[in-house]
Amino acid sequence: MSDLSTFADYLRAQDRAEATVQGYLADLRAFAAWFEQH
């Protein structure tokens, strides 16, 4: 299981809305892509 999947599972366990979970994951993926380029 990837770190992002683990984090998503944690957020869901904390009863966060699915839109929140997906938003956080999208932001983290965008940051990771930016970080790899710089």
Going by C-alpha positions, the residue among 1, 20, 29 that lies closest to residue 11 is 20
Residue-range definition of the domain harbouring residue 31: 3-37
Which pLDDT does position 20 carry in this prediction? 99
Q: How many CA atoms lie within 13 A of 17 on its CB side?
A: 3
Cα separation of 25 and 8, whole Å?
A: 7
Number of domains in the chain: 1
pLDDT digits (tens, 9 = 90+) for 9-38: 999 999 999 999 999 999 999 999 999 999
DSSP state of 15: T
Report the predicted TM-score, pTM, of the whole model to 2 decimal places: 0.87
Confidence of residue 1 (pLDDT cuts 50, 70, 90): confident
Which pLDDT does position 23 carry in this prediction? 99
Confidence of residue 6 (pLDDT cuts 50, 70, 90): very high
